[in-house]
């Protein structure tokens, strides 16, 4: 697999784990807590694999940017979190930044 696939898996793991943090109620609820721990384990394992071919700064920017947007969307539907215009504009800028990185950056991992 290539770094982009590993990064995508890491992002999905992080989004799932972060989305279950609230449901874990401070790690007092067993099933959500297990999902959080496993999700972050998957995240860090696959992110470490992605960093073998993706520069750490680029990888982290993509991981955190996409994660922020996806977690916010999930929180909107799962927890009724409201997203006002500034929040939506900010997430749009984050996505624009991720696109710029992916389309125009030629950074190398070494």
Average pLDDT, consecutive stretches of 10 residues, N- to C-terminus, the chain (110 residues):
94 97 96 98 97 92 92 93 93 90 77
Residue 109 included in any domain: no
Residue 110 included in any domain: no
Instruction: Give the three-class secondary structure for 52.
Output: coil
Q: Which helix (H) or strand (E) holds 96?
A: helix 85-104
* Residue 66: closest CA among 25, 10, 6: 10
How many domains does the structure of the chain reveal?
A: 1
Residue 73 included in any domain: yes
* Residue 95: closest CA among 61, 65, 63: 65
Q: Using CA atoms, how far apart are residues 77 and 83, in angstroms rounded to an integer?
A: 11
Residue 86 included in any domain: yes
Residue 28 included in any domain: yes
State residue 110's pLDDT score: 62
The domain of 38 spans: 3-104
Residue 33 included in any domain: yes
Residue 95 included in any domain: yes
Single pTM value for the model: 0.87
């Amino acid at each position: 697999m290539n770094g982009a696939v590993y990064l995508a898996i890491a992002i999905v793991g992080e989004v799932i784990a972060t989305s279950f943090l609230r449901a874990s109620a401070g790690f007092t609820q067993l099933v959500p807590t297990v999902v959080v721990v496993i999700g972050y384990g998957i995240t860090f394992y696959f992110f470490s694999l992605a960093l073998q071919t993706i520069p750490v700064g680029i990888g982290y920017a993509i991981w955190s940017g996409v994660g922020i947007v996806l977690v916010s969307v999930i929180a909107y539907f799962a927890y009724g979190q409201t997203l006002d215009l500034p929040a939506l504009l900010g997430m749009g800028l984050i996505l624009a930044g991720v696109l710029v990185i992916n389309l125009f950056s030629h950074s190398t991992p070494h």
